[in-house]
Structure 1
Amino acid sequence: MTPELGIIEGRFGRPWSWAERTAVMATLGRSGYRFYHYGPKADRHLRRDWREEHPVDQAEAMAAFSAECRRRGVRFGIALTPMGATHPFGSGERADIARRLAALDAIGIDDLAILFDDLRGDMPELAQEQAALVNYCAERTGATRVYFCPTYYSDDPVLDRVFGERPPAYLAQLGRRLDPAIRVYWTGEEVCAREIGVGHLERVAGELGRPVCLWDNYPVNDGSRMSRFLHLRAFTGRPAAIGARLSGHAINPAMQPLLTCIPALTLVRSYREGTAYAYGEAFLDAAREIAGEDLAAMLRDDLPALQDVGLDRLGERREALRARYAGVEHPAAAEVVRWLDGVDLVTDDEVRTQ
């Protein structure tokens, strides 16, 4: 069973242009992706400055993208992070949220996502306050679906080290307090899960009282460490059997829009083919579809250097690779060159301030 597939643009670093966004949505929409949630960390009007409405030109661009999504049969959603609104969640915060939701409705959204990822979580009554805010949003939005990403969106202990120790029974409390129709984003046993299994998903669904919508942190490559690698390989570690345990499966894309589509296409094939899926063959077929025969062969040959060795350890090979891809007139090759030039590296300061 293939769950509803989507894109959650929820990473740090340089946001895509609207043209890049449209190209990705159109490419993946043709292959079966059915929703696109817009929420790059760099859009301050959705995160640190969430109380401020988008400038007119940005709102118009979002409205145009929303219309294009609908034209192609893709649901469009906006992800809002109301930082500082839960403690307290008082009348002023409620008024600010209601006003922002009205502005997002005016843009035209099918889905609303409320995200509390990558924020401090060591606060009293965290699940109670977050659930109250999300339920309030669900009652006032014009969106027909509401998604929620909790502060502790994985079992990974790195979240406790960075954002404070998670409250006891956090997921179970959320499950009891959230409206049953609200979908919950979850990344798996790790923030960037190497494998996602049926048993794990069943356990989390039992705590939340609903199947999760998978927020898959592949092929995302934000952060100062991950941005030094190109994540191009086909999806593995997501057996088709998990599809029946999910309310959806969204990928968090890489910095490189066209190259993102290569692994994204293999996810469709993984679900469709089940145990017959062969990830090497799936990669090459997807690369051919996106980049053409010759460039796909180049990417296959250079895959260990681009994805495993990474920018810092390429040494003299870096210039050779740059010359190799600069000689190819294709936007996917240009993305490789841009990465080799270090243009898309994400800094620790960006992560701290976005």
Structure 2
Amino acid sequence: MGSSSGQRWAPGCRHVPNSATRGPAGSDLAAAAKEEEARAHDPTTIDEDGGMRIDAVDPRDLDLDTADELAELRRSCLVGVDVAAYTGPALLLDIVEGSGEPEDQVVLLAREDDRLVGWARATEPRREYTDSLFLQGCVAPDHQGRGVGRALLDALTAGTTRTRLRTRAWEGTPGRPALTAWGFTASHTSAVRRLDLDAPDPGWSSMRREADAAADGYELVRRVGPTPEADLQEMVVLREAINDAPDALEFESYPTDRIAAYEQALTRRRQTQYTVVARHRGTGEPAGLSMVCVDEFDPSTAHQEDTSVVRAHRGHRLGLLLKLDMIAWLRHERPEVTGVETWNDSTNHHMIAVNERLGMREVARSTVFKRER
């Protein structure tokens, strides 16, 4: 499959902290952001109409009512972007539980009187990307262009010494021109594709026969939930195979404790993990992996995590075989799952070709933006 065999996680999965591993409530990032918003925005307003306030919130203090507000505001900002939306409970657990990574995080809430009109979150990874601050947020459509987004950005960046800012914007949304105006530069673009599991069979049966013949020397193993301890070492090989994907930023190591922490976090977030592993029959070597998660708060759409094939085992249609087996499994075991969403870097031509052959269609595009400080 060459260097384009990997398919990276959907953005946001990695860059949120676990409450047990992130910095304390008084961490430098949170404390500095609170100090900055207090200094800059209390009692000063950031909107000429008055009544605007930005508050820094420890993620562990978020409740379901606030998470419902965040999710609803996010949905209002993504009208016309055809991707699965967060529910309030899923977003709350995403923020509070995260992905098991040692990271520091702060959330800012912008309110006009009692109404939430904007929010943002910033994360400082402590394992990799230690020069970077990852940003996410949105502003209510009727408050865009009034300085809310810029005020949130300023408050977040005032609380960090990180020199590189990273964020994303959806194609067709005001976020793209706003980021450009704030000095960000577009980097790489990913396309979101969706597979309709209820659609007429586009030839999966014949594809499966083809892939089975090409991968005759391999066996597939299915697993629901976290990886058993005895199998974690092979997951190291399979997860690190993703590092030659086109959108790899820097090498990401996956020791067994990191994999276990991530998968345990998925369980706490009520994300059911479905994994298919390919092993070489002759040697028992791990050769390939496909993994999806089903959000039990809204199980209609499954979300592709990794699909990867180890370089030494490429050329046997394993990527196609793994995905076909996952499709058959979900259709049989989870009939309420009617679609699968996956992300591909726009230069990942091999995996794009596999996905489109399976019947996936592009539904949205998201671009990474960066700014040096």
TM-score using structure 1 length = 0.28
Structure ranking higher on relative contact order (CA contacts 8 Å, 6+ apart): 2
**Which is strand-richer, 1 or 2?**
2
**Which is helix-richer, 1 or 2?**
1
TM-score using structure 2 length = 0.27
- Find the structure with the greater CA-based Rg: 2
